[in-house]
Structure 1
Amino acid sequence: MDIRIGIINSPRELGFEAGQSAADVEKIVGDAIASGTPHFTLTDEKGKRYIIATASVAYVELGTEETRRIGFVG
C-alpha cells in the first residue's frame, strides 16, 4: 500500500510502500495523535523503519491496497 505523509514546513512529502494494511496505519497514526505521543513508527515493504514526529504531520494519504496489473490493457 502506498503511503504519503506531508510534513509541516517542508516542501517535500515522505512517500513509501508500507508493509501494513490501511487500517493498521490509520490506527497507528490516529492513536499517536490522540494520545500526544511524540513520534510513531511505520515500516515499509523492505523492512525500513520510519520514525515520524507526530507534531510535524500535516496529512497522511493512504493509497489503495490492490495489486498492480502487469501487461498492456487493450
Structure 2
Amino acid sequence: MEVKIGVQNANRELTIDTTLDADEVQDAVSKAIADGTVLALADAKGRRIVVPAEKLAYVDITTSVAGQVGFRS
C-alpha cells in the first residue's frame, strides 16, 4: 500500500510503500496526533520514516493497483 505524507513547510511529500493495511496506517496517524508524538512507518525494505505529528499536513493512503497492459475490449 502506498502512503503519501505531506509535511508542513516542506516542498515535497514523503512516499512510502508499506505492508500495513489502510486501517493500521490510519490508527498509527490518529494515535500519533492524539498523543502528540511522532508518526513512524516502515516500508517492505526496512526503511523507516519518522515525522513529528504536529508537522503533518496530510496523509494520503492509496491501495496499489496494478496497471493493465494491452488493449481492453
TM-score by length of 1: 0.84
> Deviations along 1:24-47, whole A, 9 cap, x unmatched?
00000101101112x121011212
Q: Look up the match of 1:45.
A: 44
How far apart are the structure 2 equivalents of 1:62 and 1:54? 16
- How far residue 70 of structure 1 moved from its aligned partner, in angstroms, is 5.2
Whether 1:58 aligns to 2:57 is yes
Q: Which residue of 2 aligns with 1:9?
A: 9
Alpha-carbon distance between aligned partners in 2 of 1:72 and 1:45, rounded to the nearest angstrom: 29
Q: Which position in structure 2 is the counterpart of 1:21?
A: 21
Structure 1: tracts of 5 or more residues without a match: none
Gaps of 5+ in 2: none
The alpha-carbon distance between structure 1 residues 63 and 73, as it changes in their structure 2 partners (threshold 3 A), is farther
1: CA distance, partners of 2:6 / 2:22: 17
Q: Which amino acid aligns with 1:61?
A: D
**Secondary structure of the equivalent of 1:9?**
coil
Cα gap change, 1:59 to 1:69, in 2 (>3 Å): same
- CA distance in structure 1 between the aligned counterparts of 2:53 and 2:10, rounded to whole angstroms: 14
